[in-house]
Amino acid sequence: MNTIKIDKFFRGMVANNGLSGIETENTIFSFLAAANRSYYGVSCEISLSKDNEYIVTGCDSLLKYGMLNLDIPSFTYNELKKFSLVDRKTGHLNEFMFIPKLADYLAICKAYRKFMFIKIKDHLEPDKISGFDQFLKDHDITENYSLISENKKQLQILRKLFPGQALYYHARLVDDDALDYCQKHSINLYVDHHKLKREYIMSMHLVGLKVITGIVNEKDTAEKMIKYDVDFLFTNILE
């Protein structure tokens, strides 16, 4: 299985949670698969383990990985690492596939020179991300990353921690209020492709802000979004 090539060159293609159309999402396998292709960036989703380790997962339960309905945040990282995940390619458990630490994702992206788009889970309380700036510094990450959240309280904390860094508001509802919020706080916009209108992009670009759209897995839709002049496009399989 391979990626689906679009007919238009676009620098802003981002592998959503790694190359998740082929490999199990948010795993080292998916990040390496994306890193070895032409993507500008690779995204991930982060949460916290019971012992406050930043981990990479978009799920609160192991059920999505084809396992029992076990609550991921209730386990320490060493416990989580013992749970083998289902390999998307085979449909079977793979003993080498497990929930990685955020540090693993950072190391891969840095080694392969991929821009990092880090999506922060909505349920993380502000105090849980209050030291996130220092965490990145401790892992020698000072550039080539952006942070994404749909939680405005999180974004307030992140703006204080990262005053000069590109932040993105994942707006579930795109209206004048959402655009005003972004423009007032100098926060970029992430919007699902079926809610995106060209005038939203123009409005953001006029004030020097950027727009991400996702998740796009159809060639025609991707090329339409590119014509709209989006800055970045998240995809599971297109390249």
What are 113-158's pLDDT values in tens digits?
Answer: 999 999 999 888 888 999 999 999 999 999 999 999 999 999 999 9
Task: Identify the domain containing residue 42 by its residue range.
Answer: 13-171
Is residue 208 assigned to a domain?
no
Within 10 angstroms of residue 177's Cβ, the number of other Cβ atoms is 10
CATH number at residue 78: 3.20.20.190
Is residue 113 assigned to a domain?
yes
Is residue 116 assigned to a domain?
yes
pTM over 0.85: yes
Is residue 66 assigned to a domain?
yes
Is residue 53 assigned to a domain?
yes
Q: Give the residue among 81, 18, 13, 72 at the shortest CA–CA distance from 44.
A: 18
Tokens of 64: 């999505």
pLDDT digit string (tens) for the chain, length 239 residues: 899 999 888 999 999 999 999 999 999 999 999 999 999 999 999 999 999 999 999 888 877 676 667 888 999 999 999 999 999 999 999 999 999 999 999 999 999 999 999 999 988 888 899 999 999 999 999 999 999 999 999 999 999 999 999 999 999 999 999 999 999 999 999 999 999 999 999 999 999 999 999 999 999 999 999 999 999 999 999 99
CA distance 230 to 180: 18
- 192 pairs with which residues across the strands? 214
Q: What is the DSSP letter of 75?
A: S
Task: Tally the domains of the chain.
Answer: 1
Evaluate the omega torsion of the peptide bond into residue 215 and state whether it is cis, within 30 degrees of 0: yes
- 191 pairs with which residues across the strands? 213
Residue 90 φ then ψ, to 5°: -110, -20
Is residue 194 assigned to a domain?
no
Q: Give the residue among 80, 117, 95 at the shortest CA–CA distance from 29.
A: 95
